[in-house]
Amino acid sequence: MRAWWASMFAYDQYEGSMENLFTWNDMNEPSVFNGPEVTMHKDALHGKWEHREIHNIYGLYVQMATAEGQIQRSGGVERPFVLTRAFFAGSQRFGAVWTGDNAAEWGHLKISIPMCLSLGLVGVSFCGADIGGFFKNPSTELLVRWYQTGAYQPFFRAHAHLDTTRREPWLFGPENTALIREVIRQRYALLPYWYQLFFRAYRTGMPVMRPLWVDYPKDTATFTI
């Protein structure tokens, strides 16, 4: 099945596909929105294994096959980009992840930092949160602050639910547009440094985004930050 899926990314199979078209695997896990587990029932078995034990491995295999498809379509010379929602140990080899369907709340902006730090510590460095929150509508200040935070997380994108109000940076007045523009420029100015950090993560496993205690393990004051 994974071989077939990968073959579907060939230019003569994927209508409208081009070299700069990459892939976002969303909902790439068995999802059942009704029932107490909001996924497949606990008594669903794969041989002797309960479904909850291996649920995220399915997402890993989808991401793996998608990355392989992008490599195959280029004759093996392309570096793939695959964003995935479901992931598992080893997913860092195949692309980026984001923190899921968050909301336009200050608490969700705050928690995006320890979430990305935790993911980096277990090897999944290419992570980020939806700027402004996926659900609900951010205040102007929250949106600006989220751009200013998200610009320094490894994966950086703005994204929102279809039913939210428009939130392009130029819709909040020239002063706020300028603040958002400036932090985006700062991110792109640091692009060579980002590449260096990602290469180091690839070679050594050192997280791209990391807590202070990783760099200062003898300073106990950093342990709770």
Indicate the pTM of the whole model.
0.93
Q: Are 84 and 95 in contact (CB under 8 A)?
A: yes
CA distance readout (Å), 92 to 2, 34, 67, 119, 167: 18, 31, 11, 10, 30
Domain range spanning residue 187?
Answer: 130-225
Express each pLDDT in 7-23 by its tens digit.
999 999 999 999 999 99
- Give the span between the Cα atoms of 98 and 150, in whole angstroms: 12
Read off the DSSP letter of residue 18.
-
Mark whether 139 and 225 lie in a shared domain.
yes
Give domain status of residue 163, yes or no.
yes
Residue 38 confidence class, pLDDT cut points 50, 70, 90: confident
- 156 inside domain: yes
Residues 2 and 90 grouped into a single domain: yes
Maximal C-alpha separation, the chain? 60
In a domain, 17, yes or no: yes
> Does residue 119 form part of some domain?
no
Q: Which residues are catalytic?
A: 26, 101
Give the start-end residues of each E strand in the chain. Answer: 23-25, 45-46, 49-50, 82-84, 96-98, 127-128, 130-131, 157-158
User: Based on the structure, what is the number of domains in the chain?
Assistant: 2
Same domain assignment for residues 135 and 87: no
Is residue 150 a part of any domain in this protein?
yes
Residues 191 and 143 in one domain: yes
The tens digit of pLDDT for each residue in 116-137 reads: 999 999 999 999 999 999 999 9
For 57-110, write each residue's pLDDT tens digit. Answer: 999 999 999 999 999 999 999 899 999 999 999 999 999 999 999 999 999 999
- pLDDT given at position 172: 97
**Shared domain check, 170 and 89:** no
Report yes or no on 171 lying in a domain. yes
